[in-house]
Amino acid sequence: MQIWIRRGAFILFLAGLFAAVHFLAPPQHVPWRPVSLERPIGWATGAQLDRLSRMPDYCRAALTEAGVKYAELEAEDTGEACSLHGAINLEQSVTPYNAAVRTTCPLAAALYVWERDVLHPAAERHLGHQVSRIETYGTFSCRRMYNRANAPWSEHATANAIDIAGFTLADGSRVTVKQDWRAESPEGEFLEEIFEGGCDVFRVGLGPDYNAAHADHFHFDMGGGFTCR
């Protein structure tokens, strides 16, 4: 009898805890709450954005609600194991890019949140200027990881990854991963903050500390991995 009372009390405790988290915690801290790109980044932002990969219509509605402009990509033959199926062309996020950004919807959503909540505040704080352009090496690329013949397919092969090399600021100056990473300067602090902030939003963040292949860019993706280095 006693064990049933204890079990009942424990279940009531769990239910109470669940209700308290659900109703009292800010929604960006609660993994199962609906996704909104307008909220500040919280403990559950990464998990909420990750769910968008299974909810294509919901993901598009979240982009539209946030004012992100995009166009659906025409299906095209992308070759073995590569796909732009369900990808979009990101036409206007928070910041212009130096090249077309063909991307999965969850990556576009994560980019928007990162630009708004991490990139721009960090630029203002460390550099005193807005970022006027993000310089990217690209998103979609039909290749295996590190271009090795037997390696797994890269997240770039499905437009689920982006390589970011640097930034042009409103005063015309530039910050690049290649030159400014780990520099003891406002530019170095800016890069460190936006990389670490990216890891709260993207599934995977790889930079120059990860390996030599990333010496001149940050790789962010929304695949199944979970790395930040």
Work out how close the CB of 149 gets to Zn ion at its nearest, in angstroms, rounded to a whole number: 18
Work out how close the CB of 205 gets to Zn ion at its nearest, in angstroms, rounded to a whole number: 10
User: Measured from the CB atom, is 42 or 207 closer to Zn ion?
Assistant: 207
Binding site for Zn ion (CB under 5 A): 161, 163, 219
Residue nearest to Zn ion (CB): 219
Say if residues 170 and 120 touch (Cβ distance below 8 Å). no
Closest CA to 209 of 195, 193, 225, 224: 195
User: Measured from the CB atom, is 64 or 211 closer to Zn ion?
Assistant: 211
Largest interatomic CA distance in the chain: 75
User: Measured from the CB atom, is 102 or 126 closer to Zn ion?
Assistant: 102
Specify the residue for token string 């199962």. 32
Residue 3 DSSP label: H
Work out how close the CB of 155 gets to Zn ion at its nearest, in angstroms, rounded to a whole number: 7
User: Measured from the CB atom, is 113 or 204 closer to Zn ion?
Assistant: 204
- In angstroms, the CA 179 to CA 172 distance is 16
| CB half-sphere exposure, 184, CA atoms < 13 A | 0
Work out how close the CB of 208 gets to Zn ion at its nearest, in angstroms, rounded to a whole number: 13
Residue 96 DSSP label: -
